[in-house]
Copies of this chain bind each other. A is one copy, B any other.
Amino acid sequence: MQIITINREFGSGGREIGKRLADSLGFAYYDRYILEELSKKLALDENYLERTLETNWTQFMPFGQTLTTNKFSTQNSLLLAEQHKLVKQLASQGNCVVVGSNADLILEEFNPLRIFVYADMQSKIARCRARETESEKLSDHELEQKIKSIDKGRSTKHDMVTSVYPWGDKRGYDLCINTSNTVIKDIIPSMKQFAVSWFKERNHGN
């Protein structure tokens, strides 16, 4: 089984990398699909789910409460557990690229190629503006705050699942790509080639 997991900073183009890489390799691709499926299964609104799973949970907690004692977190832990189950199910169906959902941790047993995508703030702001009409309403400062807040949520959610390396720490990934000075479609062929040789060696090593 060849699985590529992608963690990414908001606005760095990680999802575009994931989709294009999956297409070029002929792999299945999962990101929002996971939310859609969860939403159906749990009969919860997809936007609510997305907000909940991407939120910086700790900000809602009264002072002195921890993630394990907080009532709010119990509900979220259940959501997380369902998400984990679904990600494992999808991954066991065949070669795929999974963006987000802590797939790097959840799918550890499959020995995935773990990629982290990042960029400098200026580049992330520009990318957000290019793709989202709602960004137009935000000032650069507000957009920066939004980006930081979403990344904080991803980081918190990631670090709840593991205590080995924090979210974004290069030691937890096989390849970290800074997209600040790149056009994503142009770097896909090299990433595909990297993935192919990486899996070849992994299989040889196993």
Interface hits, A114-128 → B, CB 8 Å:
116, 118, 120
Copies in the complex: 2
Q: A118-B171, A171-B118, A176-B176 are in contact. Are A187 and B198 (CB under 8 A)?
A: yes
Instruction: For A185, give the chain B residue with the smallest CB separation.
Output: B197
Per-position contact with B for A174-206: 1 when CB-CB < 8 Å, else 0? Answer: 111110111100110111111001101110010
Query: Which residues of the other chain, B, contact A193 by a CB distance below 8 angstroms?
Result: 189-190, 193
- Docked Cα-Cα span, A176 to B118, in Å, equals 11
Kindly identify which residue among B168, B176, B181, B189 contacts A198, using a CB–CB cutoff of 8 Å. Answer: B181
Interface size class of A (residues with CB under 8 A): 20 to 34
- Docked Cα-Cα span, A183 to B203, in Å, equals 12
Query: Which residues of the other chain, B, contact A198 by a CB distance below 8 angstroms?
Result: 181-182, 187
Query: Which residues of the other chain, B, contact A51 by a CB distance below 8 angstroms?
Result: none
Q: A186-B197, A194-B190, A201-B182 are in contact. Are A175 and B173 (CB under 8 A)?
A: no
Kindly identify which residue among B116, B183, B189, B205 contacts A181, using a CB–CB cutoff of 8 Å. Answer: B205
The reply to whether A201 and B186 form a contact with Cβ atoms under 8 Å apart is: yes
Pick 11 A–B contacts, CB within 8 A, sort by A. A116-B170, A118-B170, A120-B171, A173-B176, A174-B177, A175-B178, A182-B197, A186-B197, A189-B193, A190-B191, A193-B193
